[in-house]
Amino acid sequence: MKEIRMVDLATQYQRIKTEVDAAIAEVLTSTQFIKGPQVKKFEDNLAKYLGAKHVIGCANGTDALQIAMMALDLQPGDEVITTSFTFLATVEVIALLKLKPVLVDVTADTFTMDIESLKKAITPKTKAIVPVHLFGQCADMEAIMDITKQYNLYVIEDNAQAIGADYTYANGTKQKAGVIGHIGTTSFFPSKNLGCYGDGGAVFTNDDALAERIRMVANHGQSKQYVHDIIGVNSRLDTIQAAVLDVKLQYLDEYAAKRLAVADVYDAAFANIAGVTTPARAHNSTHVFHQYTLQLDGMDRDIVRQKLQEKGVPSMIYYPIPVHKQKAYYNSMYTNEMFRSTNKLCETVLSLPIHTEMDAEQQTYIIESVKQSLK
Please tell me whether residue 351 binds ligand PLP under the rule CB under 6 A: no
Q: Does 132 interact with ligand PLP (rule: CB under 6 A)? A: yes
Please state, in angstroms and rounded to a whole number, the distance separating the CA atoms of residues 100 and 138. 24
Helix (H), strand (E) at residue 174: strand 174-176
Q: Is 49 left (phi over 0), alpha (psi -120 to 50) or beta?
A: alpha
State the residue number with the nearest CB to ligand PLP. 61
Least Å distance between CB 46 and ligand PLP?
15
Find residue 57's DSSP bridge partners.
202
Q: What's the CA gap between 152 and 357, in Å, rounded? A: 44
Is residue 238 classed as helix, strand or coil in its secondary structure?
coil
Asked if 157 interacts with ligand PLP (CB under 6 A), we say no
Is residue 373 within 8 A of residue 308, CB to CB? The reply is yes
Nearer to ligand PLP, 90 or 205 (CB): 90
Q: Between 60 and 362, whose beta carbon lies closer to ligand PLP? A: 60
Site residues for ligand PLP, window 83-122 (CB under 6 A)? Answer: 86-87, 89-90
Residue 62 is a binding residue for ligand PLP (CB under 6 A): yes
Q: Give CB contacts under 8 A, 24+ apart, made by 24-28.
A: 24/240, 24/243, 24/244, 26/243, 27/239, 27/240, 27/243, 28/240
Instruction: Write the interaction track for ligand PLP spanning residues 173-212; mark x where CB under 6 A is met and - where it is not.
Output: --------------x-x---------x-x-----------
Residue pair 146/161 in contact (Cβ under 8 Å)? The answer is no
Residue 42-61 contact track with ligand PLP, rule CB under 6 A, x = bound: ------------------xx
**Rule CB under 6 A: is residue 137 a binding residue for ligand PLP?**
no
Residue of 211, 198, 185, 7 lying closest to 90 (CA atoms):
185
Rounded-to-integer distance, Cα 135 and Cα 286, Å: 12
* Of 67, 138, 144, 160, the one binding ligand PLP by CB under 6 A: 160
Q: Which is nearer to ligand PLP, 58 or 358 (CB)?
A: 58
CB of 186 to ligand PLP, least distance (A): 8
Return residues touching ligand PLP (CB under 6 A).
Answer: 60-62, 86-87, 89-90, 132, 158, 160-161, 187, 189, 199, 201
